[in-house]
Amino acid sequence: MYTKILGLALLACIALTSCDPSDVIPDTDDPTPTPENNNTQTPSFASGDGAIVALNTRTVTSTPLGNTTVDLGTAVAVFGDLASGTYNDAGSVTLNGKALTKTSNNAYSYIPSATDITGISFEDNIKWEVGTPSFTYDAKTQGRGMPVANGDFTFSGSTVSGSDAFTLELSGSISNADSVYFQINGPNNYILKRMGGQATSVTFSASEMESLGTSAGCSVTIAPWNYESKDLGGKTIHVVNELAINKVIEIN
């Protein structure tokens, strides 16, 4: 059985690009991504009483003077029966003091506005406050906080060959992660690979690269994430923290 949830993949790409607002949770207790042709995949769950997900999207842009980075903090939360996809009105839901907006299906999301272009900051803490079920979750005392990724993409520029094997790699280390998603998006296909929590690179074969097609406006993502299932307000709540490092590329 499948159930629907507003994924953080949607939140990140609405704020940064244009994409289809859909995400599906597989029927499994092991959190797995559901690939969509967009910039960010996020783990998802089909059991429990709710999920609270914090996402820091870091966009890397190549310039003549070197790479620049911009961080964008977003969030999503749902409460109810994840197995059936029935969500409840949870009243006020805030993350680090910023109120999430309830959608028509009782999912909650935070999308930065023109006056709040960087969104939620996760530099100091990740603190959720929820009305119903009533609880406060403070990562400093109850959880793990955001994954940490040091370094930059190892390939220079923004052009990638669509006919040769390609290694997507981060120059530094990754810590505080359970798994890392590596994804490349092309006009005809996307490829998503899930690796261990300290993995910093993955190689896409020549045949995989050829399946993507060639175009400008493609992208690569390295996304370390962690999760815990916690008893919060007497309910089983999945807590997810994800850092998604994106770069727009041209495949030729």
Note the pTM of the prediction, 2 decimals.
0.83
Residue 251 has pLDDT above 90, yes or no: yes
Cα-based angle 111, 114, 118 (whole degrees, multiple of 5) = 60
**Residue 221 is encoded by which pair of tokens?**
């993502």
Amino acid symbol at 199: A
What pLDDT shows up at residue 8?
40
Name the pLDDT band for 2 (thresholds 50, 70, 90).
very low
What pLDDT shows up at residue 75?
92
Q: Following DSSP, what letter does each residue of 50-107 receive, concatenated?
A: EEEEEEEEEEEEEETTEEEEEEEEEEEEEEEETTTTEE---S-EEETTEEPEE-TTS-
* Residues 78-91 pLDDT 10s: 999 988 888 999 99
What pLDDT shows up at residue 140?
94
Q: What percent of the chain has pLDDT over 90?
A: 71
Contacts with 229 (C-beta within 8 Å, 6 or more apart), sequence order: 48, 236, 237, 238, 239
In the predicted model, what is the mean pLDDT of the chain? 84
What pLDDT shows up at residue 50?
94
Q: Higher model confidence: residue 232 or residue 14?
A: 232
What pLDDT shows up at residue 47?
86
Find the mean pLDDT for residues 70-76.
Answer: 92
User: What is the residue extent of each domain of the chain?
Assistant: 3-251
User: If you count DSSP H runs as helices and E runs as strands, how many of each does the chain have, helices first?
Assistant: 3, 20
Name the pLDDT band for 44 (thresholds 50, 70, 90).
low
Count of CA atoms in the C-beta half-sphere (13 A) of 238: 27
* Residues 136-146 pLDDT 10s: 999 999 999 99
Judged by average pLDDT, the poorest of 29-43, 107-121, 139-153 is 29-43
Q: How many of the other CB atoms lie within 10 Å of CB of 139? A: 20
Find where tokens 């709710």 sit: 50
Find the mean pLDDT for residues 172-200.
Answer: 94
* CB of 91 closer than 8 Å to CB of 132: yes
What pLDDT shows up at residue 62?
80
Count of CA atoms in the C-beta half-sphere (13 A) of 60: 22
Residue 204 has pLDDT above 60, yes or no: yes
Find the mean pLDDT for residues 38-51.
Answer: 69
Name the pLDDT band for 42 (thresholds 50, 70, 90).
low
